[in-house]
Amino acid sequence: MGRMSTEYDRGVSAGWSFTRGAQAPGRARRLLRDQMAGWGVDKDAADVAELLVSELVTNSVRHACRPTGRLIAVGAELDPDRLLRVEVADASDVPPVLRARSGPEAEGGRGLVLVAALAADWGTYPRQHVGKVVWFTLAL
């Protein structure tokens, strides 16, 4: 697992990479939670960010159509105005699709619905060589 944390005049940032697999969502939650605690983010906002990063990493694990050994990269940036931006990158070129609400019996399909409902903004963009990044922002 790689880790990077930097402080700069526009804010602070941190990033991690780890192997895609069943443990990835929990690892992403823990890493982001610990980083936000270090940045002084309040618990309620941190809980929302943890939920959303977990949803994005879970989507990456389930849908990123590449071997399990591929890496997922998670980055977080907190700007001076207390806007948190979190990005999840994987090797799939297929962008996520926000589906209509899932029925109560559905076992999936709620991840991006939660992101769209709770984030200030969210989106996706292609990576330079292969894959995509899905991101969200939260106003803290």
| Block residue for tokens 């610990």 | 34
- Reported as a single tens digit per residue, the pLDDT across 55-109 is 999 999 988 766 555 889 999 999 999 999 999 999 898 899 887 666 555 555 6
- Reported as a single tens digit per residue, the pLDDT across 29-52 is 999 999 999 999 999 999 999 999
Strands 71-78 and 132-139, sheet pairing? unpaired
Give CA–CA dist 118/100, Å, rounded. Answer: 16
When divided into structural domains, the chain yields a total of 1
No. of H helices and E strands in the chain? 3, 6
- Residue 108's domain comprises 2-139
CATH of the domain at 42: 3.30.565.10
Q: What is the 3-state secondary structure (H, E, C) of 44-106?
A: HHHHHHHHHHHHHHHHHHHHCCCCCCCEEEEEEEECCCCEEEEEEEECCCCCCCCCCCCCCCC
